[in-house]
Amino acid sequence: MVLDYSEIKRSSLKCKKIFSEYTQEATDGGEAGVMNFRFQTLDILRFVAALGVVLFHIDGSQGNWIGSLYLCVDLFFVLSGFVLEPAYPKRRNYREMSKFIFRRFARLAPMVYSTLFFSMAYFLLIELRNFLTKGEDGANLDMSLTSILLSLLLLQIFSSQSLLFNYPMWSLSTEWIVNVFLLLPLSSKRRTANALFLLLLGLAPQIINLFSKQPEILIQLSRCLTGIIVGIILRRVFDSKNLQPSLNAFLILSSVLFLSTFIAFNSSTHVAPMVSVIPFTILVFTLASCERSMSLKCSESVSYWAGALSFGVYAWHVPLAGIVDRYAPEEFLSNAFLGTLTLTVFSCLAGFTVTKFIERPVQRFIRKREGTELGCVGQKE
């Protein structure tokens, strides 16, 4: 038997291409066609932020620095705006806008739906066991049609009962709403001026909240809008200016980064989200600049998997925490490291399963559908 090494090489390159497409779909929602540069360092950063949220939910009530890790959600918002900016339509075209909305929904919905159905099934199993054993060990979930419908539409933010299925979904719900809301102002000819106005609009409720208590839903939408707009503006500056980070600039940015991080992590919950945008902006900009201009690279496989699995870790850790909390020994739960490690591993497995068997086929269907539509347009023209 003679080995054809050229055929082996072609197969290897094909496998690598498939793997790259899979991980690209999992991290940027299928907008790979508009991404001119993949930031491997930001994939790593996204995964670290997801771990921060997990650690906060496990040990955030102890009053130490871990209690400030909820701010990692604001880092997600900045990253989202920075990565998705090229995907936003640059003109008011119905086809492009509807395609963007469809892609974003298809990116977010599979993971949200899977955690929703998992939580509902787990709740029903507990209720069935209580019925058979006449127990009272129930879960506090609202299974009303309204709560389920809002969850299916990714509008959980408008119902606290819907968030009982999986509380971290509030950030994905606000992100979905803000993504759709920004389509019109960011597709106009005055999109830069509109972006600056929207930044002020996002900061206003948080500033007012310092003096007068505002509704939580308004503050959550405000945090999301602020972070995404900052990320969008940052990406436009990044793409328009080929900045070469000097040593002096690096030292200044590092000083501001550490100072603002210290202030954010030691501020009240009213001030911290606003202040945290500063170090997160500097961090994202510095990593992206260093990667582009200094060829700062991470291991491709590590960065791909980190970016692909970060969404699953964030979406799945709370539903799985209910099972771990119910069946794991108390000594095990008191160890923050073991708890974080366990939830991360199981969340990665759940997220990978959903991505491979649900989200990936959906993304393939979308690409095939868009390719068919493009072919039809070309034939008509």
pLDDT of residue 7: 52
More confident residue, 185 or 371: 185
pLDDT at 296: 56
**SS3 (DSSP) at 37:** coil
Q: How confident is the model at residue 73 (pLDDT cuts 50, 70, 90)?
A: very high
**Residue 31: predicted pLDDT:** 44
Mean pLDDT of the chain: 81
Asked if residue 276 belongs to a domain, the reply is yes
In a domain? residue 188:
yes
In this predicted structure, what is the pLDDT of residue 246? Answer: 62
Give the model's confidence band at 254: pLDDT under 50 very low, under 70 low, under 90 confident, else very high: confident
Answer whether residue 376 is part of any domain: no
- For the segment 290-329, what is each residue's pLDDT rounded down to a tens digit? 887 765 566 677 788 888 899 999 999 999 988 887 777 7
Percent of the chain at pLDDT exceeding 90: 44
The one-letter amino acid at 126? I
- Do the Cβ atoms of 106 and 366 come closer than 8 Å? yes
Q: Interior CA angle at 173 toward 140 and 312, to 5°?
A: 80
Does residue 16 lie in a domain region?
Answer: no
Angstrom distance (rounded) from CA 113 to CA 153:
10
Instruction: Choose between 254 and 160: higher pLDDT.
Output: 160
- Tell me the C-alpha distance between 110 and 358, whole Å: 7
pLDDT at position 155 over 50: yes
54 has pLDDT over 50: yes
Residues 6+ apart with CB under 8 A from 61: 67
Residue 14 lies in a domain: no
Residue 281 lies in a domain: yes
How high is the pLDDT of residue 148?
92
| Number of structural domains the chain divides into | 1
* Rounded Cα gap, residues 177 and 172, in angstroms: 9
pLDDT above 60: residue 132: yes
Say if pTM beats, i.e. exceeds, 0.75.
yes
What integer is the mean pLDDT of 126-136? 79
Is 29 contained in some domain? no
145 found inside a domain: yes
- Both tokens assigned to 64: 């130490």
Which is more confident, 254 or 40?
Answer: 40
What domain range is 157 assigned to? 37-236+243-371
Position 1 scores a pLDDT of 42
The predicted model gives 254-265 an average pLDDT of: 76
Q: What percent of the chain has pLDDT over 70?
A: 79
Mean pLDDT of 156-163: 88
